[in-house]
Amino acid sequence: MIAGLGTAGVPTTTGLIGAYSTSSQWDSITGGTASAAAGSLYEIPNWIPGATTLSQAQSNCALPSFTSAARISVTQWTGSPDNDYAC
């Protein structure tokens, strides 16, 4: 996935590529990426949904990364439309 985006011209080291998920969904879909053995998914930034307020979205920036070596870069809280918070 990461290599394909790089080949298409997307800069792969700027944090533009990330995973939008929750820890539970991520582990269910990927089997978990808790080590470098997971390849390029191990270090991609996390974008996480689930907050219902801005304050909660800000707090979610401190959650552990579901890709282990990465960080939470964006959180989302519900609204109409949904809202994003850059950590």
Each residue's pLDDT tens digit, 67-81: 876 789 999 999 888
Asked whether residue 48 is assigned to any structural domain, the reply reads: yes
How many whole angstroms separate alpha carbon 40 and alpha carbon 1?
A: 9
- Where does the pLDDT of residue 48 fall: very low under 50, low under 70, confident under 90, or very high at 90 and above? very high
Asked whether residue 2 is assigned to any structural domain, the reply reads: no
How many whole angstroms separate alpha carbon 17 and alpha carbon 81?
A: 22
Q: What range defines the domain where residue 26 resides? A: 15-86
Percent of all residues in the chain with a pLDDT value above 70, rounded to a whole number: 86
How many whole angstroms separate alpha carbon 33 and alpha carbon 54?
A: 28
The pTM score is: 0.74
**How many domains does one find in the chain?**
1
Asked whether residue 43 is assigned to any structural domain, the reply reads: yes
How many whole angstroms separate alpha carbon 57 and alpha carbon 86?
A: 9
As a whole number, the mean pLDDT across the chain is: 84
Each residue's pLDDT tens digit, 27-38: 888 777 765 555
